[in-house]
């Protein structure tokens, strides 16, 4: 099909998506990126076109919206919104995290659930796609307030999830503490101890390496990309954004591989430490963010060699490898230009959709190594899948076993991206590779299961 006709198909498809899902700009953005890779492929494979597989994937199987009332420490009633998007169950139970953040809305959760369908398929494990959360902001709340919120949220959510139906996990604002409160309430309501959530504590059904998995996985994926150009992490300068779960373990693994991580950030600004964030400094960050729940600028009170840049993103720092691990659309076109000007070799996305379409276009035009989130950060959900397997077998695997399985999965995701994304000049377009690689398995399952 001629390029112009393909472009017309993409435009027509997107016009319908925008009309059906008004105002959901992140969802439009995520669907467009996938449609651009998939529509040319679908035109060559008419069985997917006739069955309208892409149109069906872009429509959630079910959207659950609910009220979450709770009482704060002053006795005042608070009301938040609760959501669960059950996007696609063709290859397994819905699976995907819960996000608690004031910016959460339907469009953001639909973009995340849509990406999750492709990501989960890429892991090779039997998991469908879902996502959920609330506009609740855990920041500044006491443990008791977080617990009461989680209990109220789960009271409704428990009607819709289950170990063979829908298995949520953590995401922004939902870490070990929140998963604990959510699990406790589910168990109490249902009177059953099952693997209904992943990211659980080790003592109560969690998997070793689950906390590390997303950050480690993004580094393993970058390692595979670098290998295609005979490069590795040793001696490289790394810029990381975020300072939460994903950023912390990306820092740990990159440092273990001999690289120097020089930045971390939060939504207020970033710190630059030219000497590198070594294991001891990382332990300080983990305590600061996970226990004291403080701000990243406090790093500079402790380490005089570091500087804090309020209201800025770390991409202006010269680096060889960038690992965005905070949130969506945190690398815009201008940030990408600076990264490229500074000879950044490789971008591996720990976060979901951190690069805007303009940034992605620049990476691809300069043919730099670019691993999109749905491939590069799939290690988290893959290890959640391993947690589900261990729960079903009532067994737990050793750290080495889980890490080895995670590493193998990331290598295989990379191979799958190469298979579908290698272009005629040898350049690997990981965007195309991840989109087509993730699509085919789901599409075949949907064809086999009929019009449901």
Instruction: Select the span of 79-87, 264-272, 277-285, 385-393 touching ligand NDP (CB under 6 A).
Output: 264-272
Distance CA 189, CA 187 (A): 6
Per-residue mark of binding to ligand NDP, 146-185 (x: CB under 6 A)? ------------------------xxxx-x----------
CB of 353 to ligand NDP, least distance (A): 8
Nearest residue (CB) to ligand NDP, 198 versus 391: 198
Nearest residue (CB) to ligand NDP, 355 versus 416: 355
Distance CA 241, CA 266 (A): 7
Report helix angle 25-44 to 357-365, nearest 10.
40
Nearest residue (CB) to ligand NDP, 353 versus 443: 353
Distance CA 98, CA 179 (A): 9
Distance CA 320, CA 338 (A): 12
Buried b or exposed e, range 152-167, using 16+ CB within 10 angstroms: bbbbebbebbbeeebb
Distance CA 294, CA 66 (A): 31
CB of 155 to ligand NDP, least distance (A): 23
Query: Catalytic annotation on 227?
Result: no
**Looking at 128, 133, 195, 244, which residue binds ligand NDP (CB under 6 A)?**
244
**Looking at 121, 377, 391, 429, which residue binds ligand NDP (CB under 6 A)?**
377
Per-residue mark of binding to ligand NDP, 199-238 (x: CB under 6 A)? ---------------x------------------------
Residue 240: which of 224, 222, 226 has the closest Cα? 222
By CB under 6 A, residue 134 contacts ligand NDP: no
Q: Provide the Cα torsion 112, 113, 116, 120; round to 10°.
A: 160
**Cα of 109 vs its chain's centroid, Å:** 12
Nearest residue (CB) to ligand NDP, 171 versus 224: 171
Tell me the chain's radius of gyration from C-alpha atoms: 21
Distance CA 259, CA 290 (A): 24
Buried b or exposed e, range 136-148, using 16+ CB within 10 angstroms: bebeebeeebbbb
**Looking at 82, 128, 380, 433, which residue binds ligand NDP (CB under 6 A)?**
380
Contact set for ligand NDP, span 320-359 (CB under 6 A): 325-327, 330, 350-352
- What number of residues does the chain have? 452
Instruction: Select the span of 250-258, 266-274, 412-420, 436-444 touching ligand NDP (CB under 6 A).
Output: 266-274
* Beta-ladder partners of 355: 331
**Residue among 95, 110, 119, 131 flagged as catalytic:** 131
# residues contacting ligand NDP (CB under 6 A): 24
Hey, is 420 helix, strand or coil?
helix
Nearest residue (CB) to ligand NDP, 80 versus 245: 245
Nearest residue (CB) to ligand NDP, 53 versus 112: 112
Contact residues toward ligand NDP (CB under 6 A) are 170-173, 175, 214, 242-247, 266-268, 325-327, 330, 350-352, 377, 380
Tell me which residues are annotated as active site: 131
């Amino acid at each position: 099909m001629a390029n112009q006709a393909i472009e017309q198909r993409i435009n027509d498809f997107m016009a319908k998506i925008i009309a059906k899902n008004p105002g959901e700009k992140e969802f439009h953005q995520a669907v467009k990126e996938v449609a651009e890779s998939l529509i040319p492929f679908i035109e060559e494979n008419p069985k997917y076109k006739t069955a309208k597989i892409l149109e069906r994937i872009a429509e959630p199987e079910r959207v659950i919206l609910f009220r979450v009332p709770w009482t704060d420490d002053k006795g005042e009633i608070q009301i938040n919104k609760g959501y669960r998007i059950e996007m696609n169950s063709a290859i397994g139970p819905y699976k995907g995290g819960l996000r608690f953040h004031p910016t959460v809305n339907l469009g953001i959760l639909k973009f995340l659930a849509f990406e999750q369908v492709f990501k989960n398929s890429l892991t090779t494990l039997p998991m469908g796609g879902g996502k959920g959360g609330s506009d609740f902001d855990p920041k500044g709340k006491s443990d008791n307030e977080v617990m009461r919120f989680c209990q109220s949220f789960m009271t409704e959510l428990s009607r819709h999830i289950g170990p063979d139906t829908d298995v949520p996990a953590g995401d922004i604002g939902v870490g070990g503490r929140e998963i604990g409160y959510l699990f406790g309430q589910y168990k109490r309501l249902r009177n059953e101890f099952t693997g209904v959530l992943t990211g659980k504590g080790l003592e109560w059904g969690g998997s070793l390496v689950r906390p590390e998995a997303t950050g480690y996985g993004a580094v393993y994926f970058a390692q595979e990309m670098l290998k295609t150009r005979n490069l590795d992490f040793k001696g490289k300068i790394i810029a990381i954004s975020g300072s939460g779960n994903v950023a912390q373990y990306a820092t740990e693994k990159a440092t273990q591989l001999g690289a120097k991580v020089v930045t971390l950030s939060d939504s207020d600004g970033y710190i630059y430490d030219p000497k590198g964030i070594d294991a001891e400094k990382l332990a300080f960050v983990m305590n600061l963010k996970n226990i004291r729940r403080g701000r990243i600028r406090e790093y500079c009170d402790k380490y005089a060699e570091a500087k804090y840049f309020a209201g800025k993103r770390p991409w202006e720092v010269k680096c060889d490898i960038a690992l965005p691990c905070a949130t969506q659309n945190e690398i815009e076109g201008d940030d990408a230009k600076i990264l490229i000007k500074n000879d950044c070799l490789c971008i591996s996305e720990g976060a979901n959709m951190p690069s805007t379409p303009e940034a992605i276009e620049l990476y691809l035009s300069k043919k730099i190594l670019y691993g999109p989130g749905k491939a590069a950060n799939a290690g988290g959900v893959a290890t959640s899948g391993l947690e589900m397997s261990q729960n079903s077998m009532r067994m737990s695997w050793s750290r080495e076993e889980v890490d080895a399985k995670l590493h193998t999965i990331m290598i295989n995701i990379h191979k799958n991206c190469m298979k579908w994304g290698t272009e005629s000049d040898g350049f690997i377009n990981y965007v195309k590779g991840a989109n087509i690689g993730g699509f085919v398995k789901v599409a075949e399952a949907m064809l086999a299961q009929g019009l449901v």
